């Protein structure tokens, strides 16, 4: 009885593991070939692994995925410690000032913070990072609120230029790299158009915008039509959460 149950357990765990492995691999291949077809410029695919176990991140890593996104500081810290050093981690969740020290000291080579939404937060990151030994400058994106429904995070459109100026002029330890938004679920194209207009506005002020992080599993084909350079995909790679 006991042996039978254990064998069944091991068998089903093995089947599940194989299933995830093939699912993740084929989902990544599908996304990559789509990106190849629809865009002439390179688009970064960030695999959003929040709530998924480190084993599944490793499966995507073994399929050559190197950019991953996480929303929660403690979950990222845990995965950062356990997973390969050459992963480029993106922090994509709402970041509270009191978590900045933990995030940056526990993940010294963090690649990007996509959710800077205040001068206070930018300043805190800029100060904290000066105490961390790193190989490269930390990249940051300004998160913009572009929707009436859904998310409430991000700065309003009128705050984008002043916050971006503050980062480029007063935060020498971090690098402003672009803009990020979570689209309005009912009208994603409106959100993407707003972000595109903000890019043009910043560039008219001689502030280069390299990264346009927009598009998730449900809306990335539309985001690509509006000049996305980075899509953040969770459920279409790892399955539903
Ligand atoms: C969860 C999340 C994603 C991925 O969402 P999916 O719909 O699963 O692709 C992308 N961006 C942010 C900010 C997220 O929180």
Give the C-alpha distances (Å, rounded to integers) separating 189 from 65, 157, 230: 28, 16, 16
- Give the mutation target among 192, 216, 217 for probing the ligand 1 site: most ligand atoms within 8 A of CB: 216
Please tell me the residue having the least CA distance from ligand 1 atom 4. Answer: 234
pLDDT single digits (tens) 73-85: 999 999 999 999 9
Residue in 50, 95, 96 with CA at minimum distance from that of residue 69: 50
Phi then psi for residue 238, to 5 deg, are -100, -5
* pLDDT category of residue 37 using cuts at 50, 70 and 90: confident
Classify 200 as helix, strand or coil.
helix
Please tell me the residue having the least CA distance from ligand 1 atom 11. Answer: 232
- CB of 210 closer than 6 A to ligand 1? no
DSSP state of 155: B
- CB of 218 closer than 6 A to ligand 1? yes
| Ligand 1 atom with least separation from CA of 220 | 9
Which pLDDT score is estimated for 2? 59
Whether 21 shows a pLDDT value over 90: the answer reads: no
* pLDDT above 90 as % of the chain: 85
- CB of 52 closer than 6 A to ligand 1? no
Which pLDDT score is estimated for 154? 96
Instruction: Please list the residues that pair with 178 across neighbouring strands.
Output: 141, 211
User: Per residue in 195-227, is it b (16+ CB within 10 Å) or e — as a string?
Assistant: bbebbeebeeeebebebbbbbbbebbebbbebb
- CB of 235 closer than 6 A to ligand 1? yes
* pLDDT above 70 as % of the chain: 99
d(CA 48, ligand 1 centre) in Å = 6
pLDDT single digits (tens) 53-71: 999 999 999 999 999 999 9
Residues 91 and 47 sit within 8 Å (Cβ to Cβ): no
Which pLDDT score is estimated for 10? 81
Which pLDDT score is estimated for 3? 64
Classify 181 as helix, strand or coil.
strand
- CB of 215 closer than 6 A to ligand 1? no
- Give the mutation target among 146, 211, 232 for probing the ligand 1 site: most ligand atoms within 8 A of CB: 232
Q: Helices 157-170 & 119-129, crossing angle to 10 degrees?
A: 20
Q: Cα 103 from chain centroid?
A: 15
Which pLDDT score is estimated for 39? 79
Domains of the chain from N-terminus onward:
2-238 (3.20.20.10)
* pLDDT category of residue 8 using cuts at 50, 70 and 90: confident
Strand ranges in the chain using DSSP code E only, listed in sequence order: 44-48, 67-70, 88-91, 112-116, 138-144, 174-181, 211-213, 230-233
Whether 1 shows a pLDDT value over 60: the answer reads: no
Which pLDDT score is estimated for 56? 95
- CB of 46 closer than 6 A to ligand 1? no
Query: Comparing 26 with 41, which gets the higher pLDDT?
Result: 26
**What's this model's pTM, rounded to 2 decimal places?**
0.94
pLDDT single digits (tens) 145-200: 999 887 788 999 999 999 999 999 999 999 999 999 999 999 999 999 999 999 99
């Amino acid at each position: 009885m006991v042996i039978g149950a254990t064998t069944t357990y091991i068998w089903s765990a093995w089947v599940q593991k194989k299933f995830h492995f093939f699912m993740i691999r084929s989902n990544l291949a599908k996304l990559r070939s789509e990106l190849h077809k629809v865009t002439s410029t390179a688009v970064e695919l960030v695999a959003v692994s929040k709530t998924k176990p480190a084993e599944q991140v490793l499966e995507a890593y073994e399929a050559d995925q190197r950019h991953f996104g996480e929303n929660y500081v403690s979950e990222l810290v845990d995965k950062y410690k356990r997973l390969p050093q050459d992963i480029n981690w993106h922090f994509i969740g709402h970041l509270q000032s009191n978590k900045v020290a933990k995030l940056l000291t526990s993940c010294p080579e963090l690649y990007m913070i996509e959710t800077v939404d205040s001068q206070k937060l930018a300043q805190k990151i800029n100060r904290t990072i000066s105490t961390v030994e790193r190989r490269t400058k930390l990249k940051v994106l300004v998160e913009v609120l572009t929707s009436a429904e859904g998310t409430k995070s991000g700065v309003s459109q009128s705050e984008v230029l002043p916050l971006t100026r503050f980062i480029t002029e007063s935060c020498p330890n971090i690098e402003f790299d672009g803009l990020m938004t979570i689209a309005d679920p009912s009208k994603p194209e409106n959100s993407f158009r707003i972000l595109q207009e903000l890019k043009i506005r910043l560039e008219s002020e001689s502030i280069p915008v390299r990264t346009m992080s927009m598009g998730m599993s449900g809306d990335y084909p539309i985001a690509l039509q509006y000049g996305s350079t980075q899509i953040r995909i969770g459920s279409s790679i790892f399955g539903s959460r």
